[in-house]
Structure 1
Amino acid sequence: MSDNGADKAIAASETAAPMEPGAGPDDFVPRYFEPERVRMYRSPMGSARLELLDEVCYARVAVRQILPLSDPDHYISIWSGDDAEIGIVLDPLELDEASQRVISEELDVRYFTPTITKIHQVKERFGVHEWDVDTSRGRVTFSVRGLHQNVKQLPPNRLIVTDVRENRYDIPDATRLDHASFQQIQRHM
């Protein structure tokens, strides 16, 4: 982190997303960061920080994917602690290694999405479907309320399942599951 405190302010609590000069509150224009000016690191307490060199340091930020399913490796949005977008990193690989690591760690926490590899059973009771599955992280059981709202079908055969705790599970290609697993999906969808 640069140490010229006179040239920048520590912005612990930002209230508005950056806008181009002359833009009104309804005319939000996204800000794309220049990779050489971005530094991300951890605070002593472990939260992610963003420093825009010679400009400002945001004491606590959140990292989000703009296109988490179709292009998860690009278009990374950085948000302030007040839930306002600060700007966008087009390609995290253009950042320094430490910044890449912080972004990767933050995305891993935010987008914890195990892949379902086998479905042992799906049973419905009072409008809630109980799933017993094997995932890339081990065997789990979870509940889904309202299958049509919480199982998203993406072309060609991908399914994203969201449980009652808002955890997401990925089935990259439902047709590639074993026959019994695929039958469980067919029966309940």
Structure 2
Amino acid sequence: MAAPQIVEHTHFTLERNAFGKLILTTESGVRFEGVVPVRAFPIQAPEIGISLVNTDSEEVGWVDRLADVPEPAQSLIRQELAAREFMPVIAQIVSVSSFSTPCTWTVETDRGRTEFVLRGDEDIRRIGKDNALLIADTHGIQYLVRDQFALNTGSKKILDRFL
């Protein structure tokens, strides 16, 4: 079976079928049902470089900049990404049960207050050149700290003990 041709956003249309699946139709009329958008750089550049993959995980479309995609395709891609991605953003570290791991963290996120268990210091990773951090809990949920230096003083003191 030949590999599918990758098409740029100006050469395809996007729609949702009755079952809620995305359908990509190329300029030449080839249809791909069940297309899923995947961000190339989900944290550092979430609006740049979005791959559209078919049910066989083959790339069938590419979007350089999401803002350049005409409506309604842009909204469909945004809706699909929002439904698939779950990465709470930590606004404040309220408390930790211990400064040795494993320990339970209580945090305020953009989705409300929650608790999670940090297995080890290695589960806190710096991201890129920015001051961003990615913290993984024991269940594999990733929590994002957009800028560790923008947190309140108490949160920064707790974080310093683990970095």
TM-score bucket of the superposed structures, by smaller chain: 0.7 to 0.9
Q: Aligned partners of 1:59, 1:88: CA distance in 2, in Å?
A: 16
Q: Aligned partners of 1:69, 1:94: CA distance in 2, in Å?
A: 19
Residue type matched to 1:41 in 2? E
Aligned length: 162
Residue 107, structure 1, aligned to residue 81, structure 2: yes
After TM superposition, the structure 1 stretch with the greater mean CA deviation from structure 2, 97-106 or 34-43, is 34-43
SS in 1 for 2:72: helix
TM-score by length of 1: 0.75
Greater radius of gyration (CA): 1
2:125 to 143, 149, 152: 152
Greater strand share, 1 or 2?
A: 2
> Unaligned stretches of 5+ in structure 1?
1-14, 20-30
Q: Aligned partners of 1:97, 1:175: CA distance in 2, in Å?
A: 37
Query: What RMSD over aligned residues (CA atoms) do the two structures have, in Å?
Result: 2.3
Match runs of 1:30-49 below 5 Å? 31=6, 33-49=7-23
Task: Indicate the residue corresponding to 2:160 in structure 1.
Answer: 186
Q: Aligned partners of 2:2, 2:107: CA distance in 1, in Å?
A: 43
Match runs of 1:155-174 below 5 Å? 155-174=129-148
> Unaligned stretches of 5+ in structure 2?
none
Q: CA 1:73–1:156 in 2, change beyond 3 Å: closer, same or farther?
A: closer
Residue type matched to 2:57 in 1? D
Deviation at 1:68, TM superposition (A): 1.5
Task: Indicate the residue corresponding to 2:4 in structure 1.
Answer: 18
Query: How high is the sequence identity, in percent, across the aligned residues?
Result: 28
2:25 to 51, 54, 62: 51
Q: CA 1:51–1:184 in 2, change beyond 3 Å: closer, same or farther?
A: same
